Amino acid sequence: MSTEQPLFSPPQLDTEAERLFRALLHVDCEPGRTWNYEDCRRIAPLTLEINRLKKEKDAVILTHSYVEPEIIYGVGDFKGDSYFLSLQARESKAKVIVFAGVVFMGETAKILSPGATVVVPDRGSGCSLADSLTGDQLRTLKAAYPDAAVVCYINSTADVKAESDVCVTSGNVYDIVAALPQRRILFVPDRLMGENLRTELQRRGVDKEIITSDGTCIVHDVFDAAAVIEARARFPGLKVVAHPECTPAVAAAADFVGSTGAMMKYVKNTVAPYFLMLTECGLVGRLQVETPEKHFIGGCRLCPYMKLNSLEKIRDALAAPRPDQIITLDENLRRRAQRSIDRMFELTPAIKG
Ligand code: 13P
Ligand code: SF4
């Protein structure tokens, strides 16, 4: 007979399961991605253990809106888009930062909070954009366009950030590029965001030449403008909301294009009978939790990298991180990468304010 005491009492587990169930009750964006009370009872020991470990280790958990809602609402301290989470990483005083997102986000947190131990639950959580361009490839491109300002989207490796003049996110890309003194811009690694940037700058009457590399997001590059037109015919009054990683045709067919943070704000502030979210399903899950009165007609897609995060992996990364879960960066590279992100922070409030 085992002499081991259970970590949590049945009443603690009941209270936690009820808390989770109340939070996740309305999530229903993809078949099979729902949480009933039994599911919540099953995960309650894990969320209790993770929340206990957070205190013990002086840790904070940053969660991108695309990870599973049981992570965001079960154990997350901060939730949001790349810009917001980068700010949280920079301001964090915690000894340990767990980044439930993808590896480039963990790297960005380490660049901005070098004194913290930064861990990612799954080292395989890449990103088709970040993985599309190496620092060496960017050096070759830079040699071909020596007069260009080098602007990297935050979905890039630390090496690429270190080679860039300024980093941008989906929330500030248009304003930052418009404000740069150079006419010629080498924008990496998202070709489609670069095309959307070109269109937006033309619309604003800003004269820039945008040169891009050839990366795309495997989640956003497949949304189809013809399907948007069809959906509008089936759902009168539909509002279509897209991420700037979508194709220019999809962006043109949408009512609103913005970062995941801006998309959330748009839906919360817009009255419409239905919304079509052309982005990762995690964002729809968040909206179903936070605006349960709104209706979404489906169509979102799953990011296989974001979905590698799990409560079990977060627990293991907190309890005793394996070397592959810990982000390490050469200090010289980290400092160079930090310069491009600091430049983004300098330019963002000046423009927004
Ligand atoms: P956001 O910064 O808009 O959340 O975008 C991150 C991302 O990976 C989108 O695919
Ligand atoms: Fe990368 Fe696309 Fe996944 Fe975002 S959704 S992390 S851009 S692959």
Dump pLDDT digits (tens) for 137-191: 999 999 999 999 999 999 999 999 999 999 999 999 999 999 999 999 999 999 9
Q: What is the band of 41 on the pLDDT scale with cuts at 50, 70, 90? A: very high
CA 291 to ligand 2 centroid distance, Å: 24
User: CA–CA separation, 200 vs 190, rounded Å?
Assistant: 15
Q: What percent of the chain has pLDDT over 90?
A: 94
Examine the pLDDT at 1 and tell me if it is beyond 60.
no
Instruction: Name residues whose C-beta falls within 8 Å of residue 3's C-beta, 6 or more positions apart in sequence.
Output: none
Q: What is the band of 31 on the pLDDT scale with cuts at 50, 70, 90? A: confident
Give, for ligand 2, the residue of 122, 218, 263, 281 to mutate: max count of ligand atoms closer than 8 Å to Cβ: 218
pTM: 0.96
Q: List all residues whose CB is within 6 A of at least one atom of ligand 1.
A: 81-82, 155, 169-170, 217, 243, 245, 259-260
Helix (H) or strand (E) segment spanning residue 258? none
Three-state SS letters, the chain: CCCCCCCCCHHHHHHHHHHHHHHHCCCCCCCCCCCCHHHHHHHHHHHHHHHHHHHHHCEEEEEECCCCHHHHHHCCCEEECHHHHHHHHHHCCCCEEEEECCHHHHHHHHHHCCCCEEECCCCCCCCCCHHHCCHHHHHHHHHHCCCCEEEEECCCCHHHHHCCCEEECCCCHHHHHHHCCCCEEEEECEHHHHHHHHHHHHHHCCCCEEEECCECCCCCCCCCHHHHHHHHHHCCCCEEEECCCCCHHHHHHCCEECCHHHHHHHHHHCCCCCEEEECEHHHHHHHHHHCCCCCECCCCECCCCHHHCCHHHHHHHHHCCCHHHECCCCHHHHHHHHHHHHHHHHHHHHHHC
Examine the pLDDT at 323 and tell me if it is beyond 70.
yes
Q: What is the band of 33 on the pLDDT scale with cuts at 50, 70, 90? A: confident
Task: Say which ligand is closest to the CA of 129.
Answer: 2
CA 253 to ligand 2 centroid distance, Å: 21
CA 17 to ligand 2 centroid distance, Å: 31
Domains of the chain, first to last: 10-124+307-325 (3.40.50.10800), 130-216 (3.40.50.10800), 220-302 (3.40.50.10800)
User: CA–CA separation, 231 vs 261, rounded Å?
Assistant: 24
Q: What is the band of 32 on the pLDDT scale with cuts at 50, 70, 90? A: confident
Examine the pLDDT at 352 and tell me if it is beyond 60.
no
Dump pLDDT digits (tens) for 84-121: 999 999 999 999 999 999 999 999 999 999 999 999 99
User: CA–CA separation, 254 vs 275, rounded Å?
Assistant: 11
User: CA–CA separation, 314 vs 310, rounded Å?
Assistant: 6
Examine the pLDDT at 227 and tell me if it is beyond 50.
yes
Examine the pLDDT at 206 and tell me if it is beyond 90.
yes
Examine the pLDDT at 2 and tell me if it is beyond 60.
no
Dump pLDDT digits (tens) for 242-298: 999 999 999 999 999 999 999 999 999 999 999 999 999 999 999 999 999 999 998
Q: What is the band of 334 on the pLDDT scale with cuts at 50, 70, 90? A: very high
Examine the pLDDT at 21 and tell me if it is beyond 50.
yes
